[in-house]
Amino acid sequence: MIALCILTIIYSYSILILWIFSLLIFWKFKDKLTSSIENQSRYFLTYTLLTGILLIIFLGKGLGISADYLSNVTTEVIGIAITVFLIDRVYNYMNSKNEEIYRNLSLKVCRMPIYTYCANWFYIFESDKKELVTVLQKHSDFSSFFKSDEFYYQINAFDFNRLIGENKTYAQYYSEKMQEIKDRFQGILSKYASKLSHKDIQLLEHFGGRAYFFTVFEVMKFVSEVKFTHKYGDQPEKKIMPFNNGFKDIKRENFNKHFDKLIELINEYNSVVDNDYEKWTIRNICQLQTIKSANDIPSTEW
């Protein structure tokens, strides 16, 4: 009889140890089920409660615990599980709603940085307003324009060493503009990053300075400030401004990757705005440059 009791106790403890070991295994490989930390914790808690109930019933019978006691314990555990589940559902619902609100706000704040970034590329492509409008009318959307051969080759042909002012090159001017855009996106990130998903943060970080395109603008600024001279025979040295455009060295596929990101950001922004007037299209980004068009757009803030 004593030997049977000892064997029963050893058997029960073995089952308990195996259960604890299964919990450790589940916890170790929980990231295989989902990448979300909240879901990982939720799955682990559910597994622990369900297997714990089965363990109590199984071991209780083996140890001779009364059926009434097991029934009460099981009822208590199930009650706790239901309470935890309901609280978790309410918390998850409120949290998802808050995340959606903050995400929408962060994307809406991207309105003017997106506009400025696109407008800069438009005018690098074509500085003449009338010519630009004519070209843009041939394209139905941003993808058609930014990924066209015409845009790619014209950007590569732009000389950033040309002067936009008496002592300022286009390289210096656009480097300053791109820094302003990076700062605005970084400002949005610093305000909303704690409430955004990893994917949204990556997208905003791309235009907050992570994209290598911004480095190219810095390189062109540096080259435009270097004093190049040429001397022919006995003549005095003459200052020269060589052609300056680092975009010609970027592979076409990498060029397109950047503008795929821009199109993705524009689409995300358009998906959260309240009306069609606020959506960015290839038409209205160009038209907003004029006072007349701003007068005709109901969403313009005066």
Identify whether the C-beta of residue 106 lies closer than 8 Å to the C-beta of residue 196.
Answer: yes
Mean pLDDT of the chain: 83
Q: Which of 39-43, 130-134, 179-183, 240-244 has the lowest mean pLDDT?
A: 39-43
The total number of residues shown for the chain amounts to: 302
What's the helix, strand, coil split of the chain in %, to 5?
75, 5, 20
pLDDT of residue 264: 96
Q: Does 131 score more than 60 pLDDT?
A: yes
* Confidence band for 37, pLDDT divided at 50, 70 and 90: confident
The whole model's pTM is what? 0.70
* Residue 54 phi, psi (nearest 5): -65, -35
* Confidence band for 262, pLDDT divided at 50, 70 and 90: very high
Q: Does 266 score more than 90 pLDDT?
A: yes
pLDDT of residue 148: 94
Burial class (CB in 10 A: 0-12, 13-18, 19+), 75: exposed
* Confidence band for 90, pLDDT divided at 50, 70 and 90: confident
The pair of structure tokens assigned to 170 is: 């286009």
Q: Does 166 score more than 80 pLDDT?
A: yes
